Amino acid sequence: MQRFNIEPTAGPLAQQLQNKIDGKTKPLGALGQLESLAQQIGLIQQTDAPKLSAPQMLVFAGDHGAAKAGVSAYPQDVTWQMVENFLAGGAAINVFTHTYGLPLAVVDCGVAHEFGERDGLINYKLGAGTANYLETPAMTAAQCAQAMDNGAALVERYAKAGCNVIGLGEMGIGNTASASLITHCLSNQPLDACVGRGTGLDDAGLNRKQQLLAQALLRTGKMSDPVKVLQEFGGFEIATMVGVILAAAERRMVVLIDGFVVGAAALVACALYPAARDYCVYCHRSAEAGHQVQLAAMRAQPLLDLGMRLGEGTGVALAWPLVQGAVAFLNEMASFASAGVSEKT
């Protein structure tokens, strides 16, 4: 696994940005969270006139060996079927990215299906899904490192094309169970607080999911090392997203984080490199119970709270106009001085 050089964004520019925001023709703080978002993006880019260039939405797909044990309400085949739906333009993420003009690509990190070469599909397949973490580590140390390296390579590819803002979504039957285990291990919160209904489990299904995840933890014992936790319980798509987050932060890119599963990747990334948190914009609050634990652990205030739990990056796509709006007001809104408007006395 490669090392990353990620610098905190804090510095003297923060006050300069705040002064610029406060000088706009509005009462102090009147744009609420958009003001802190504008400052964050300015600090990421180290300028008081940030620009959003060649944005890219990516959906990372992978299968999970534990899915066949009953941690999800849906069969594993739904993963590849939904990837086909993405490629055909029929999923929610397609609708939202099309509506808001956000380019979309799908990354096959390890789906148990062969798609062949397809427009809009990037092949970083590491195998036909991870191993069953109820019996053995989900992936080998080499696979985990390769997945993260793949994520870093993907960032390099887009950065060379001028991209400075990247959105993360995911697809993988069983991946909320992986996210629950990662969240429990890295937040020190009880497992029950980190487990939700995923794709729609009923009460009996939720109880079974909790029991199976408790069984997985009995196999490993208590762990806190983020890479080991990722290797034991993660998915190829989650590990690839960890590499994306870290490489994007190293390149001072804005990283748009979706809900619970992408949040698990962010939790790992920020546990490895705490400064990576400065580059993450948390787009929405998922209805999944464990997402509340993640947000608290990362001291994150999401932009939207719509009760969603779909995944796919839908929260990112819906929040994208807010990100654009934050940069636009910072750059284009008149100041009291330029507009000749009297300030508060």
Q: Please say whether the beta carbons of 85 and 338 come within 8 A.
A: no
Q: In whole angstroms, give the CA distance from residue 135 to residue 30.
A: 54
**What was the pLDDT predicted at 244?**
98
Average pLDDT for the chain: 95
**Percent of the chain surpassing pLDDT 90:** 88
Mean pLDDT of 278-304: 97
**What was the pLDDT predicted at 32?**
98
- pLDDT band, very low/low/confident/very high, at 69 (cuts 50, 70, 90): confident
**Residues 152-175 pLDDT 10s:** 999 999 999 999 999 999 999 999
The helices-and-strands tally (H runs, E runs) of the chain is 14, 6
Q: Where are the domains of the chain?
A: 13-50+329-339, 56-321
Mean pLDDT of 263-269: 98
Please identify, in words, the CATH class of the domain defined by 13-50+329-339. Answer: mainly alpha
**What was the pLDDT predicted at 98?**
98
Mean pLDDT of 193-206: 84
Mean pLDDT of 171-193: 96
**What was the pLDDT predicted at 305?**
98
Q: Which among 35, 237, 288, 312 is annotated as catalytic?
A: 312
Q: Please say whether the beta carbons of 254 and 41 come within 8 A.
A: yes
Dihedral angle sign, alpha carbons of residues 221, 225, 230, 232:
negative
Mean pLDDT of 260-269: 98
Dihedral angle sign, alpha carbons of residues 134, 70, 192, 283:
positive
Dihedral angle sign, alpha carbons of residues 71, 138, 129, 308:
positive
Token representation of residue 197: 């209904």
**What was the pLDDT predicted at 207?**
86
Token representation of residue 30: 């009147």
**What was the pLDDT predicted at 312?**
98
Mean pLDDT of 29-35: 98
**What was the pLDDT predicted at 286?**
97
- pLDDT band, very low/low/confident/very high, at 132 (cuts 50, 70, 90): very high
- pLDDT band, very low/low/confident/very high, at 205 (cuts 50, 70, 90): confident
CA within 13 Å, CB half, 46 = 9
**What was the pLDDT predicted at 277?**
98
Write b or e for each residue in 172-191: b if 16 or more Cβ atoms lie within 10 A of its Cβ, otherwise e. bbbbbbbbbbbbbbbbebeb
- Which DSSP string corresponds to 162-182? T--EEEEEEE-TTHHHHHHHH
**What was the pLDDT predicted at 287?**
94
In terms of phi and psi (left: phi > 0; alpha: psi -120 to 50; beta: otherwise), the region of 189 is: beta
Q: Please say whether the beta carbons of 97 and 180 come within 8 A.
A: no
Residue 81 makes CB contacts below 8 A (sequence gap 6+) with none
**What was the pLDDT predicted at 255?**
99
Q: In whole angstroms, give the CA distance from residue 91 to residue 108.
A: 16
**Percent of the chain surpassing pLDDT 70:** 99
Only one residue has tokens 């209805």, namely 287
**What was the pLDDT predicted at 200?**
79
Token representation of residue 316: 């990112």
**Is 114 considered catalytic here?**
no
Mean pLDDT of 26-41: 98
Mean pLDDT of 321-335: 98
Could you tell me the pTM of the whole model? Answer: 0.96
- Give the rounded distance of the alpha carbon of 52 from its chain centre: 18
User: Which CATH fold topology does 56-321 show?
Assistant: Rossmann fold (3.40.50)
**What was the pLDDT predicted at 73?**
79
